[in-house]
Amino acid sequence: MTETPRSFKVITYGCQMNAHDSERISGLLEGAGYVPVPADAEPDVVVFNTCAVRENADNRLYGNLGHLRPTKLAQPGMQIAVGGCLAQKDRGDIVKKAPWVDVVFGTHNIGSLPVLLERARHNAAAEVEILESLEVFPSTLPTRRESTYAGWVSISVGCNNTCTFCIVPALRGKEKDRRPGDILAEVRALALEGVLEVTLLGQNVNSYGVEFGDRLAFGKLLRACGDVEGLERVRFTSPHPKDFTDDVIAAMAETPNVCHSLHMPLQSGSDAVLKAMRRSYRAERYLGIIENVRAAMPDAAITTDIIVGFPGETDADFEHTLDVVRAARYSSAFTFQYSKRPGTPAATMDLQVPKAVVQERYDRLIATLEQISWDENKKLVGTPVEVLVAVGEGRKDGATGRLSGRARDGRLVHFAADASAGLRPGDIVHTTITYAAPHHLNADGPLLSHRRTRAGDAWEAGRVTRTPGVSLGMPTIGTPPPTETPARSC
């Protein structure tokens, strides 16, 4: 009698890099004979792929582990695995705090998960395996891809920066760069399968090439993506202002499929705070980059990361941040209230800012950002827009009949669509903006055009590709509302 395959579910906390890793985890498990759990069933294996950048990530993980304990007791065959940055940080402490966890694995040994699960079952004991350095680049691992139209391609892992608030370099290690040929082969493979949009991923994409001695490698990579047939949109995240060079701006402006959207982390507009953060640029340099980007691409939508309440931040420092925000005119931002992370220099700094002060500043920042993003969006009313129809962006209520997608600049667009139009995720439509809100645009007029794509065909057919070395992400990575907080900030 054939044994019923064990089912799995992967729960992801954190940034795009973590979501990208979760695709690898799913691909590995499927390759080992596991199957995705049906929506109405309990999985045999639950994998938590964790983040460690903010304190609430710890609380969420241990809270969810606690909620799972009764289920685990009722289903002795269930296994729980914890991986990712928090696993790399806490290591054996996880099974001490939650002894019902079966496997703990780190950021450098994702590929070990199926073996660790089997070993834990055989030995009836927890398996903890944390490697200190990367042995196999994750892109060589199999992948379970959900989307047919938008993909993530990792160009590097790790980070060589030493920002005083960030624990990522300690958990992901020093930067490791993939060779350009390997990256482009993956991009071409995605395009051949009908993928329209690729986002190049790295902790600091602008330092790409440091390992093989080419400081201009990232700009060259962007231009090379422009030669990939069938690839319509190229994005990247995240750059670092200290490494951002004019050749990258030129590549963005001169390569037709590179989108005019840029996520440029600010963190603070105060030079004194930037110095304390060990961010090797200053406000004038930052705004100079923004000015150069807009000179080359007047339509560029720029987003950012900002931390409020970093140790030692004064009222004057915060006002400098507001000054930069007003000058930069962001379309949206990820915003953080500073929280201590053990193991970072900032956690032991003097002059920690009181919570009430941080909250007051944060509220003012949000109000300023919302007004700016609303004003910028209003400028687009009456203009035509190309929208990549997306799944997972959320559908408006049934009364409006709107669908959702992303414009080339990353803005979220809700657009009117007759049910008879036969739109699928991955199709391209052209429409006209009729209304602007701070975090989205509406297009309630008739569609100007609808182009059916191979990505839409694949979605309609229900195809899921499982191809080693190819990583396709969740729906199009776009810009969040200002109150949303990502798991990582560079």
Neighbour order of strands in the sheet with 233-237: 150-154, 197-201, 233-237
pLDDT value at residue 375: 98
Candidates 105, 84, 85; CA nearest to 95 is 105
- Per the domain annotation, does 409 fall within a domain? yes
- Return all residues near 225 (Cβ < 8 A) that are at least 6 apart: 184, 187, 198, 200, 231, 234, 255, 257, 258
Q: What is the DSSP string of 203-231?
A: TTGGGTTTTTT-TTHHHHHHHHHTTSTT-
CATH number of the domain within which 390 lies: 2.40.50
- How crowded is residue 161: how many other Cβ atoms within 10 Å of its Cβ? 18
Range of the domain at 160: 145-378
User: Do 155 and 263 fall within a single domain?
Assistant: yes
User: Do 355 and 388 fall within a single domain?
Assistant: no
- Per the domain annotation, does 358 fall within a domain? yes
Alpha-carbon distance of 434 to 421, in angstroms, equals 20
User: Do 441 and 388 fall within a single domain?
Assistant: yes
User: Do 118 and 171 fall within a single domain?
Assistant: no
User: Do 163 and 67 fall within a single domain?
Assistant: no
CATH number of the domain within which 68 lies: 3.40.50.12160
> How many angstroms separate the Cα of 185 from the Cα of each of 64, 405, 455?
39, 27, 19
Q: What is the value of pTM for the model shown?
A: 0.82
- Per the domain annotation, does 137 fall within a domain? no
pLDDT value at residue 396: 53
490 annotated among ligand-binding-site residues = no
Candidates 204, 277, 278; CA nearest to 243 is 204
Low-confidence ranges of the chain (pLDDT < 50): 1, 394, 464-489
User: Do 94 and 176 fall within a single domain?
Assistant: no
User: Do 258 and 346 fall within a single domain?
Assistant: yes
User: Do 278 and 400 fall within a single domain?
Assistant: no
159 annotated among ligand-binding-site residues = yes
- Per the domain annotation, does 474 fall within a domain? no
- Per the domain annotation, does 239 fall within a domain? yes
User: Do 232 and 298 fall within a single domain?
Assistant: yes
pLDDT value at residue 55: 65
- Per the domain annotation, does 196 fall within a domain? yes
- Per the domain annotation, does 330 fall within a domain? yes
Neighbour order of strands in the sheet with 127-129: 35-36, 7-12, 45-50, 79-84, 103-105, 127-129
User: Do 153 and 291 fall within a single domain?
Assistant: yes
Among 349, 378, 407, the domain boundary falls at 378
Alpha-carbon distance of 255 to 222, in angstroms, equals 8
User: Do 240 and 367 fall within a single domain?
Assistant: yes
User: Do 428 and 342 fall within a single domain?
Assistant: no
Number of domains in the chain: 3
Alpha-carbon distance of 312 to 66, in angstroms, equals 36
Q: Please count the CA atoms within 13 angstroms of the CA of 389 that sit on its side-chain side.
A: 29
Q: Which pair of tokens denotes residue 116? A: 């660790």
pLDDT value at residue 108: 80
pLDDT tens digits for range 448-482: 999 999 999 988 887 544 333 333 232 222 333 33
CATH number of the domain within which 186 lies: 3.80.30.20
- Per the domain annotation, does 183 fall within a domain? yes
